[in-house]
Amino acid sequence: MNERTNLVSSFPSPPIHYISQYTDKNVEDGIALPPPAPIQGTYTMFGAQYSTDEPIVQPLESQCIRRLYPSGANFDRKQELKKLNHSIVANFLDLVELLIRCPSSPERERKIEDLNLLFINFHHLINEYRPHQARETLKLMLDVQCQQRLNMVNRFQEQSKLVANKLVSCLEGIPENLEVSFMKDPSLSRIWNQCFQCHDDLESQDVAEQKPNVRKANPSDLLLCRMADEMNG
């Protein structure tokens, strides 16, 4: 007897309305359904209610959890993480010893609660680094994009220089009698002058590139960095 295998996806299937409308042809024609508007105010996710006005990392006090490290921004987070880590190890060893000596002791529940509180504080302190991590990730993405664009521009310039040199070498090899008739034609004469002008411009550009040059920042990159600074602040 053949049993039917039910395939279960980790994520829910998208609505059939979007599946039928969001096709390659509709995207190419520009008639695909637009994405939903950003949520403003409160929303529910995984059964919990959130607000877009709340900070990215909510304080422990708002969740009725006791804070085990100083509040504010003027403290050594690295040192506090080390302290929490040592406390976790010490409490875990105490719990192991307690389970060996007296497994049914009520002290066991208190140790488990202490470990739970330590892990929550440890995890929350790590999450406070998320805005800084997002800012550094954004900076890295911008640096990679900038380097890719510079490499692409350099490749285009190399190919343009190669083509210009070949054209100039071909034009210089034209006999004088053909050159005179070549220059009499306005369209051919314009091509002739453009080739030599392009060759001269590339040579001038090579000389200018040898001088120290300060690269200016892209206004859009500055805007993204400013937004990241405001989020991190």
* 148-185 pLDDT per residue, tens: 999 999 998 888 888 877 777 776 676 666 555 656 66
| 115 confidence band (pLDDT: 50, 70, 90) | very high
φ/ψ of residue 194, rounded to 5: -65, -40
Share of the chain above pLDDT 90, in %: 22
- Mean pLDDT over the full length of the chain: 78
pLDDT of residue 1: 46
Task: Give the contacts of 105 (CB within 8 A, at least 6 positions apart).
Answer: 98
pLDDT of residue 130: 85
Q: pLDDT tens-digit profile of 171-226?
A: 667 666 655 565 666 666 676 666 666 666 666 666 555 555 555 556 666 666 66
pLDDT of residue 47: 82
Label residues 119-134 b or e (16+ Cβ within 10 Å = b): ebbbebbeeeeebeee
Tokens of 207: 């000389």
| 31 confidence band (pLDDT: 50, 70, 90) | confident
Strand-pair partners of 42: 51
Strand-pair partners of 112: none
Q: Which residue has the higher pLDDT, 57 or 229?
A: 57
